[in-house]
Amino acid sequence: MKKLIDTSCSIETPEGIDFSSTIAGPIPRTLAYAIDLGWRCLIYLGIGLVTIFTGNVGVGFFLVITFLLEWFYPVFFEVFRHGQTPGKKALGLRVVNEDYTPVNWSGSTIRNLLRSADFLPVFYLFGITSITLSKKFQRLGDMAAGTVVIYTPQKINSLLDNEITPIAPSQPLTPQEKQAISNFTLRTSSISEARQVELTNLLEPITKSTGSEGLNLVKSIGAWLLGKK
């Protein structure tokens, strides 16, 4: 059987701890780039409007600023803003080394200087192809610098229904079961009632009941597991 399709990738530390993160693919990265490009264009426009009236000195200044921004805008944000340019932040992305340590000066500089390779032949075609084809969604610059773009973990902010009275489970549960039941309790608002009953009927060995009675019991156990006492 082939491996199940998944974008998460885990790294094992020497201490035997698994760190798992989800790697970001071409679409969100393209959008993040577009946002950054938009910001840069706004800056160029602003500076251009100011310097257009100042003759050659102004043009020189404009060119220097353009050069610096074009090459070091991402480096600055990646090193000083936890690997997130404004575009990446908007999409919830982050640049890290392949072992999920924060990216440093050399890594960030390499990956951004090699944009010139990704840019070929027009507008990042090689970069997009490389991201799509490579195993860890890396463009050429990422491969050279040994970096990946991952999603920053998002907090699920679903609220627990206050009407549920927490009940302690009557028998010991495995960690997997605990996780499943508490996830279910948190997600009940997006699942239809009939489906909820269908799902909780599967848990009959734990609840010893079916139907809406079983559903309520599972929810109560979930609330208890989530720390409501």
Partner 1 sequence: MNLSELQIKPALRGKWEAIDVGILMAKRWFWPMLVAWAVPAMTVFLILSAIFHESPWIAMLVFWWLKPLFDRLPLYLLSRYLFNEPVPQLFNARVLIDIYRFDIFSALTWRRFEFRRSFNLPITVLEKQKGEARAKRAALMQFGCGNAATWVTTVFIHFEILLCLGFISLVALFIPSNTDWNFLNTIMEHPLIFEHLYNLIYASSVCIIAPLYIASGFSLYINRRVELEAWDLELLFRDSMLKRPKNNPKFASTNNIASHLALICCLTFSLISSDNLNAAQNDLNLTFDQTSRAAEQSKEQMLEIIESPPFVIEKEVTQWEWKSNNDTQESDPELPEWLENIEHLFELSDVMKNISVFFEVIIWGSIALLLFFIAKHILHNLDLSATTGGQKKGAISQQKPSVIMGLNIETESLPDDIADAVEKAVAQGNHRHALSLLYRFSLNLLINRYDLHLEDWFTEQECANAVKHSLEEDINRFFSALTRTWQLQAYAHLSPTDDAVLALSGDLKKVFNL
Q: Which residues bind partner 1 (CB under 8 A)?
A: 2, 4-8, 22-28, 30-31, 91-92, 121-125, 128, 132-133, 137, 151, 154, 171-172, 174, 176-177, 179-180, 183-184, 187, 190-192, 195, 199, 202-203, 205
> Residue 24 CB, nearest distance to partner 1 (Å)?
6
> Residue 176 CB, nearest distance to partner 1 (Å)?
5
Q: Distance between CA 172 and CA 174 in Å, rounded?
A: 7
Q: How many CB atoms lie within 10 A of CB 94?
A: 24
Nearer to partner 1, 30 or 97 (CB): 30
Nearer to partner 1, 22 or 66 (CB): 22
> Residue 100 CB, nearest distance to partner 1 (Å)?
17
Q: Distance between CA 83 and CA 100 in Å, rounded?
A: 11
Nearer to partner 1, 109 or 182 (CB): 182
For CA atoms 141, 143, 147, 153, give the dihedral sign.
Answer: positive
> Residue 45 CB, nearest distance to partner 1 (Å)?
22
> Residue 188 CB, nearest distance to partner 1 (Å)?
9
Phi-psi region of 73 (alpha: psi -120 to 50; beta: other; left: phi over 0): alpha
Nearer to partner 1, 45 or 133 (CB): 133
Nearer to partner 1, 34 or 50 (CB): 34
Q: Are 151 and 94 in contact (CB under 8 A)?
A: yes
- Bridge-based pairing of strands 8-12 and 18-22 is antiparallel
Q: In this structure, which amino acid lies at residue 150?
A: I
H helix or E strand, kind and range, residue 94: strand 93-97
- Look up tokens 């997997």; give the residue: 176
